[in-house]
Amino acid sequence: MKKLWLTICAGCFVASLSGAVLAAQSPDPDKRYDGAKEKIDGDYQGAKKQADADYKAAKTRCAELKGQEENRCKSDAKAEYEKAVGEAKAKEAEAKGQAKANRENAKADRTR
């Protein structure tokens, strides 16, 4: 499961590099921000898809159990899913805030 997560994350990272590299070459802070934002959105979508896949797999495993074990398994799966989505949202918000700050700093540097 962790190997699958790493493979998906690596794929999202590599795919997002092309836009980020092109945007980083641009002297326009707005274009760099747009490129960074696309990468951030891609990273979030990748993490969300992984959380969805993990949750679906966990629910399938839980269906094989009965009674209290099944209920606890489903509860644990839901908690892990919500944690993963929450972490992805937090990382997205932090990265977008940093990208916005970088854009504003670059604009301020250009006006000097």
Compute the distance between CA of residue 69 and CA of residue 60 in angstroms, rounded to an integer. 13
Give CA–CA dist 81/42, Å, rounded.
19
Between 22 and 42, the higher pLDDT residue: 42
Q: Could you read off the pLDDT of 62-80 as tens digits, one per residue?
A: 999 999 999 999 999 999 9
- Residue 33's pLDDT band, with cuts at 50, 70 and 90, is confident
pLDDT at 22: 46
- The per-residue pLDDT for 29 is 83
pLDDT tens for 37-53 read: 999 999 999 999 999 99
Residue 32 burial (C-beta neighbours within 10 Å; 0-12, 13-18, 19+) = buried
* Structure-model confidence comparison of residues 101 and 5, the more confident one: 101
Res. 110 pLDDT band, cuts 50 70 90? confident
pTM above 0.85, yes or no: no
- Confidence bin at 11 (pLDDT 50/70/90): low
Q: What is the full DSSP assignment across 4-53?
A: HHHHHHHHHHHHHHHHHHHHHH-S-HHHHHHHHHHHHHHHHHHHHHHHHH
